[in-house]
Chains A and B, each alone.
Chain A
């Protein structure tokens, strides 16, 4: 086994109801009188739900059967703080529990991975939490050339004894991580070809996917890469912003798919989107939506079993105006840990369910 997980964080809380639209449900029109996606702007997936038309670039993947849409993903007693809820997702904790180690790192606790090169995870945005922990070596690298240049400027540490000083010892070990990563990545990255299809530059995500593609085509043996698209905190005048974000996301994920298929790598990669929460079911007074709970998420890759997974949350059985989640995100993580890396890990669940989207 050995698939690279590409995490795509949608920062700010993506509105699931206007992403995977329950177009046939009259309650949807009622809740979203102003900002609801009109029926003719929905790309129907079945008789109940469809994608926002701006997500149409994903339809190639859908038709090829390598796009899974996980419905109603969330967790019990949801927290609506951006920070806290991101932390819950990133550490796979219960809502009342604070963990410091990320879920990807937890999956590798007790089973050290082969230290082929000096790095296990590359984070192209700034949030490292999913892979934070002693079991993995994570590098934050927004720009490959810049990282290599900075690492070069900080040369290899000459043999220094820490003299029993843990603070110095920590500094030296982080420095060694940087040096080791740079050494492992330098030649591979510098010889990696530019992606055949270029990514959009409107958001940082485009540059991050460019870096991710280079890492993958250079066959850098990492277990995970993380990128992010911000701007989903749409409290007011949501529709134009949200459409722009969805269009950019879909176009660039489609480009990613093309590039990886072209490079013969699509079977070795699993792409997953996630967001700290969905939005409130009913739109607010300023044509936006407030922080809510569960939302659908996309999983793509040559090994992915496409289609709709899980159950769309009921719009008529809300809890304080919020959707009730139908899939616990920790089951999604357990499925990915098994399907990507062959790691069996329960993420604190008594009986984690392996979901059917990845074999």
Chain B
């Protein structure tokens, strides 16, 4: 077994494992640690630290001691994406704007006010950027790093809707990945100089004569102290301190415009001096609330929706003592009694990314074109690089409305259908949409919410759903060969709500589990 807990390692183990597995038999591993955590604990740990869980992945962890498994998950985080970066990263914002304007004016040539179907570079790059990240989330061998990258994106939000320079959001994403399990102080200082952030929160226009308070306000309210722990004068003082931090219009890189900086004396949170941006950040990092704000958020993301104040205090103290190192904090969080408490199993609602990326992973679906997945994410309320507002995604219960619950079920039914028709040799095909041109256009999803079309695979199991496909249903290598009860325990964090029959055919069991309300939980 690989010592690293990457997905590739999992998949190698999976192959060996399914090959040797006979029906209805879950062989006990040969060498079990004295304190092996077992199937359900391992499933829980993985469901919170990756996107989707397969039996083989659980199998790799179940014989380990919980703390050993956690250490391995955190061992040496990948600091760069595996998926090749888009080709347009070198294009500066000025050049992109010029190309955009050219495209816009060409687009307007149409008669009767109808716009021509011209590819606009900003929209096209935005589409490719979203697809790129979804690709990485599916392909990565370290899903926890992607999870943390997504977490920091939700914490330090910036949106393509305002930052119409996708390369800067790619670089911001690279920063979040580099420090995903790195250091919060480093992250905060880098974010304050990050071009996408400077554009998103208007820092690039903030000058001594007219300081813009947008970044300063969100820095205090969302990134560090939280509401009610500072006054309007603190916001104003911080805004003055950051004046002059800007973005070069040609290159898109961070630059300091010394002439635009307000070098005067400021009073911020009771301290007085000729503060610059870094002084403000240092004062905020010295404030105990900063660590608590981050820990509370991580608690809601990884443990439960209700934070325990004394536990938050303990973890925040540890976070500060370590100099804001994220890895020891995550270690302590994942080892905390609350994380392991059975009452917190299945107590979080899957985010749209959990649901979509996770299902694609669990079913082992190859998806050549990601635009359909991104559009589904958009329908469910979590478009990457486009959070709804500066607060990021509210998450928790707000993921589920009457609209999104029906859309989620519809997505899952489509996944079930796609799995149904899987040919044995090649896995499942989700279609490249026949008209990529149509994909490029900003368009509303069709009224019936359908966003994906399935291509006919070479040799389908004719017209039957997974539920009805019986013995002919071909599960992907991720699920094949696992018995019914164990499939249910893999796919659901608690007993089924809708009472599926774990003794049916494998296809029927998987279909019922995916459509069970409990599948929405993690």
Distance (Å) between the CB of A161 and the closest chain B CB? Answer: 10
* A138 with B402: CB separation less than 8 A: yes
Q: Are B447 and A174 in contact (CB under 8 A)?
A: no
Q: A143-B447, A164-B343, A204-B444 are in contact. Are A171 and B402 (CB under 8 A)?
A: no
In the assembled complex, how far is the CB of residue A154 from the closest CB belonging to chain B, in whole angstroms?
Answer: 5
Q: Give A202 Cβ to nearest chain B Cβ, in Å.
A: 11
| B402 with A142: CB separation less than 8 A | no
* Cβ–Cβ contact B347 & A167, under 8 A: yes
A43 to B110 Cα, complex, angstroms: 28
Q: Enumerate A236-285 residues with CB–CB distance to B below 8 Å.
A: 236-237, 239-241, 243-244
Alpha-carbon separation in the docked complex, A244 to B110 (Å) = 14
Complex Cα spacing A258 to B361, Å: 53
A177 within 8 A of B: yes
Who on chain B is nearest to A169 by CB?
A: B397
Do residues B499 and A175 form an inter-chain contact, with CB atoms below 8 A?
no
Residues of A within 8 A of B401 (CB): 128, 140, 174
- Which of chain A's residues have a CB closer than 8 A to the CB of B410? 150
Q: Is A157 an interface residue (CB 8 A)?
A: yes
Neighbouring A residues of B162 by C-beta, 8 Å:
81
Say whether B33 faces chain A, with CB atoms less than 8 Å apart: no
Given known A170-B397, A237-B108, contact A178–B447 (CB-CB < 8 A):
no
The contact string, 1 if C-beta is below 8 Å from chain A, for chain B 312-352, is 00000000000000000000000000000001001111000
- Does A304 count as interface, using CB distance less than 8 angstroms? no
A165 at the interface (CB under 8 A from B): yes
CA distance A240 to B110 in the complex (A): 11
Interface residues in A147-175 by Cβ distance below 8 A to B read 147, 150-151, 153-155, 157-158, 160, 163-168, 170-172, 174-175
Q: How far is the CA of A62 from the CA of B220 in the complex (A)?
A: 51
Q: Judge if A324 is at the interface, Cβ distance under 8 Å.
A: no
- Point out the residues of chain A lying under 8 angstroms from B251, CB to CB: none
Chain A residues lying within 8 Å of B397, measured Cβ to Cβ, are 166-167, 170
| Docked complex Cα distance between A142 and B446 (Å) | 10
Q: Distance (Å) between the CB of B208 and the closest chain A CB?
A: 21
Most chain B CB within 10 A, of A154, A163, A204, is at: A154
Q: How far is the CA of A146 from the CA of B449 in the complex (A)?
A: 9
Separation of A146 and B448 alpha carbons in the complex (Å): 6
Task: Tell me the complex Cα distance, A140–B380, Å.
Answer: 13
Q: Which of B134-190 contact A (CB under 8 A)?
A: 161-162
Do the beta carbons of B447 and A171 come within 8 Å of each other?
no
Please state if A204 and B447 are interface contacts (CB–CB under 8 Å): yes
B116 touches A (CB below 8 Å): no
Which of B5-13, B66-74, B513-521 participates in binding chain A? B513-521
Residue of A nearest to B410 (CB): A150
Question: For residue B517, which residues in chain A have a CB less than 8 angstroms away from its CB?
Answer: 157, 168, 171-172, 175
CA distance A166 to B447 in the complex (A): 32
Known contacts A83-B161, A143-B448, A237-B108; decide if A150 and B348 are in contact (CB<8 Å): no
Q: Which of A50-66 contact B (CB under 8 A)?
A: none
CA–CA, A153 and B521, complex, Å = 19
Interface size on B, residues (CB 8 A): 38
A126 touches B347 (CB 8 A): no
Q: Which of A87, A177, A204 contacts B402 (CB 8 A)?
A: A177
The reply to whether A178 and B104 contact each other, CB–CB distance below 8 Å, is no
Contacts of A143 in B (CB 8 A): 447-448
B497 at the A/B interface (Cβ < 8 Å)? Answer: yes
Indicate if B403 sits at the interface (CB-CB under 8 A): yes
A140 B402 Cβ-Cβ under 8 A: yes
Cβ 8 A contact of B113, one of A138, A154, A241: A241
**B113, A240: Cβ atoms under 8 Å?**
yes
Q: Separation in Å of the B515 CB from the closest CB of chain A?
A: 8
How would residues 37 to 52 of chain B score, 1 for a CB under 8 Å from any chain A CB and 0 otherwise?
Answer: 0000000000000000
Report A34-77 CB contacts with B as 1/0, cut-off 8 Å: 00000000000000000000000000000000000000000000
Contact B448 A83, beta carbon cutoff 8 Å: no
- Quick check: is B498 within 8 A (CB to CB) of the other chain? yes
Q: Would A171 and B400 be within 8 Å (CB), given that A143-B447, A157-B517 are in contact?
A: yes
Q: Contact at B497–A160, with CB atoms within 8 Å?
A: yes
Measured CA separation A106–B108 after assembly (Å): 43
Most interface-central of A153, A163, A170 (chain B CB within 10 A): A170
Q: Is B123 close to A, CB under 8 A?
A: no
> What is the 8 Å Cβ interface bit string for chain A, positions 129-141, against chain B (1 contact, 0 not)?
0000000001110
The proximity string for A residues 176-216 relative to B, scoring 1 for CB distances below 8 Å and 0 otherwise, is 01100100000000000000000000001001000000000
Task: Fill in one digit per residue for B82-106: 1 if any A CB lies within 8 Å of its CB, else 0.
Answer: 0000000000000000000000100
Interface residues of B (CB under 8 A from A): 104, 108, 112-113, 161-162, 305-306, 343, 346-349, 388-389, 396-397, 400-403, 405-406, 409-410, 413, 444, 447-449, 494, 497-499, 517-518, 520-521
The 3 A-B residue pairs whose C-beta atoms are closest, nearest first, are: A240-B113, A140-B403, A170-B397
